Amino acid sequence: MARGKDPNPDPGWYYNTRTGEVEHLERSRSIDLLGPYPDEATARRALEIARERTRQADAEDAEWNGGQ
């Protein structure tokens, strides 16, 4: 994992989609990350949260398009 020493690290928690690991303070490339999340437990649920948000957005789009 390519990590650098950030003098002002983001205190959030991130889910790495490439490794499946949760990261905090020192992080991988942002293209591989979902977050930030407020805590480790929420970051571990990142994929579940993303799926639910996608389902909700799809339902809203369908409603906007007249239920099509």
pLDDT in tens, 3-55: 556 676 678 999 999 999 999 988 899 999 999 999 999 999 999 999 999 99
Q: Is the peptide bond before 11 cis (omega within 30 degrees of 0)?
A: no
Domain edges within the chain: 13-65
- For the entire predicted model, the pTM comes to 0.74
> What pLDDT does residue 26 have?
85
Residue 4 tokens read as 């650098």
Residue given tokens 């989609």 in the structure block? 17
- How far apart, in Å, are the Cα atoms of 28 and each of 3, 40, 65? 6, 16, 39
